[in-house]
Amino acid sequence: MMIDETHNPWTTLSSRPVYQNPWISVREDQVLNPKGGEGIYGVVSMKNKAIGIIPIDVEGYTYLVGQYRYPLNEYSWEIPMGGGLIENDILESAKRELQEETGFTAAKWTNIARLHTSNSVTDEEGFVFLAQELTAGETAFEETEELHIRRVKFSEAVEMALNNQITDAISVAGLLKAALLLQQQG
C-alpha cells in the first residue's frame, strides 16, 4: 500500500492569534480532525531555530552547560544551545552560540541532526552540530543566562543522557546520534 505523505487529513476552519512575544506566537485553530470531528488545535510557533552544539576537544572531552530552567522549575545540564533567527544561516547561529556559551570557536563543523522538538504542539525545528578542532576564548553570556560550564568525557555525557541526568530533548538526541556517528567513523 502506497502512503501519500503529502496528504493532510486535517481541515483548518479558522485560525486566531492568542499570544506572542519576541520568541513565540501561539494560535488557536478551529479544525476538522481526520475523522471529520470538530475540535480545536493550539499551535506554538517559534521565531527562532533551535541550535545545539556538541563541542569535542582533542582529548575526547565535551562541554556541557548547566542552568536553571524556569518552565521546568529545575536545574538542567545540556549541550550548548540557543536560538538562531529563522532567516539566519544555521551554521553561523551555531558558531555564535558556541562562542557565547563556552568561549570556544571551532575549525571543523558537522551538521549531524535536524529534528522537531515536540511536533504535536510546536513547529520548532532544531539542528545539532558537532564542533571539533576547538580554540578557547571568552564567553559572552546573555542577560537571561546564569550558566555553568562542565568539561566531561564525551562518553560520560552520553551516559548522562542514557541515565536521565540530561533530559533536554535536543541534547539527548544530539549526544546519542553523535555517539553512533563517531562509533561508525571508528
**Statement to judge: residues 56 and 42 lie in one domain:** no
User: Is 52 in the same domain as 29?
Assistant: no
Full domain range(s) for residue 163: 48-185
β-strand partners of 177: none
CA-to-CA dists, residue 41 to 8, 44, 59, 162, angstroms: 15, 10, 48, 33
Residues 72 and 33 in one domain: no
Between CA 25 and CA 56 the distance in angstroms is: 35
* Residue at 6 is within a domain: no
Q: Are residues 60 and 150 in the same domain?
A: yes
Are residues 178 and 101 part of one domain?
yes
Which is nearest to 174 in space by CA: 62, 74, 92? 62
Total domains in the fold of the chain: 2
Residue 132: predicted pLDDT: 97
Task: Answer whether residue 2 is part of any domain.
Answer: no
pTM for the structure as a whole: 0.91
Let me know whether 55 and 41 are in one domain.
no
What pLDDT, on a 0 to 100 scale, did the predictor assign at position 134? Answer: 97
95 and 40 belong to one structural domain? no
Characterize the bridge pairing of strands 81-85 and 74-78.
Answer: unpaired
In this predicted structure, what is the pLDDT of residue 88? 93
Residue 113 φ/ψ, nearest 5 degrees: -155, 145
pLDDT band at 139 (very low <50, low <70, confident <90, very high): confident
What digits encode the pLDDT tens for the residues 74-126? Answer: 999 999 999 999 999 999 999 999 999 999 999 999 999 999 999 999 999 99
pLDDT in tens, 34-84: 999 999 999 999 999 999 999 999 999 999 999 999 999 999 999 999 999
Q: Which of 109, 106, 77, 108 lies closest to 90, judged by CA?
A: 109
